[in-house]
Amino acid sequence: MSIRTNRREFCRRLAIGGAALFTAPRPLWSASIANDRSHTAAGPYKIAVCDWMILKRQKLGAFSLASEIGADGVQLDMGGLGQRETFDNKLADPAVARQFMEEAGKNQMEISSIAMSGFYAQSLAERPTVGRMIDDCMETMRQMKVKVAYLPLGVHADLVKRPAIRPAVVERLKEAGKKAEKGGCCIAVETSLSASEELAFLEEIGSPHIKISFNFANAVKNDRDIATELSTLGREHLAQIHASDTDGVWLENNPKIDMPRIKETLDAMDWSGWLIVERSRDVEDVHNVRKNYGANVAYLKSVFQSER
């Protein structure tokens, strides 16, 4: 049976409520910020989904749904931000955090990272209580035993469109880097910069605890070759990958993403870590969570977790 046929069968089983295909035992949480090429049951590459994109933001059901989809883990969100002083974070309650950890274990799921997705629409440079937000994220990571935080520099901290705010962003990330160092973790920042520009950005910050969260969609939008960008960025600067494009077609049907070549590049870099599916939903059926994420997870597994 071909890989494509296997993926179709996977999606068919999801549609009728079948069990997840990938049920090998997995550790519960990522234990290191280093890309040590460790080989788990999934190998050096593991696949996660965003809890907010599968419509389970800070809900226990994210783990069972991610397991049903076939993922290895979940990127958990800190909760909404809006104009609050900090995130609307249920996980700040130790009892709730324990519940989530127990549910992850029950479903053989890992927590790939803790996301501060509120910064998609808020400015890291301009919000007055950013320090508190970072502290709250660090505390949640400590309770959840997670070593990577995801921090997108969204529309209001776009360093390409708003270069004047760069000094403020750098200074705040320097402070955040000190907090991450104290907590023994790292903050994975997503920018709109090219890989070479990100290297200069990281050098300006000067903290090994601030790394890059690379998003395929940013490279595709700016006509940058994904494999080349990853190679330029380098292993030591790459904390995680958001392995999807904007919505339109599934990953396997996207001619702008050469997934086997991307894997070859990451293999050559000796990188290991999480590939997280955010979008790449079929616009003809965009609200079908199981179908869209099941197809994308299955495709990534066929490329990154197949036997050599």
Domain at 195, CATH number? 3.20.20.150
The average pLDDT across 272-281 equals 98
The average pLDDT across 121-130 equals 96
Secondary structure (3-state) at 211: strand
pLDDT at 306: 85
Report residue 242 as tokens.
């958001």
pTM of the full predicted structure? 0.88
Give the pLDDT band of residue 12 (cuts 50, 70, 90). very low
Q: Are 297 and 290 in contact (CB under 8 A)?
A: no
229 is in which domain, residue-wise?
A: 3-304
Q: Indicate if the pLDDT at residue 36 is higher than 80.
A: no
Weakest mean pLDDT among 25-34, 66-75, 116-125, 241-250: 25-34
The average pLDDT across 250-266 equals 98
Within 8 A by CB and 6+ apart from 164, the residues are none
For residues 303 and 284, what is the distance between their CA atoms, to the nearest angstrom?
25
Domain tally, the chain: 1
Report residue 296 as tokens.
């994308």
Q: Indicate if the pLDDT at residue 139 is higher than 80.
A: yes
Residues above pLDDT 70, as percent of the chain: 86
Query: Between these two residues, 25 and 74, which has the higher pLDDT value?
Result: 74
Q: Indicate if the pLDDT at residue 15 is higher than 50.
A: no
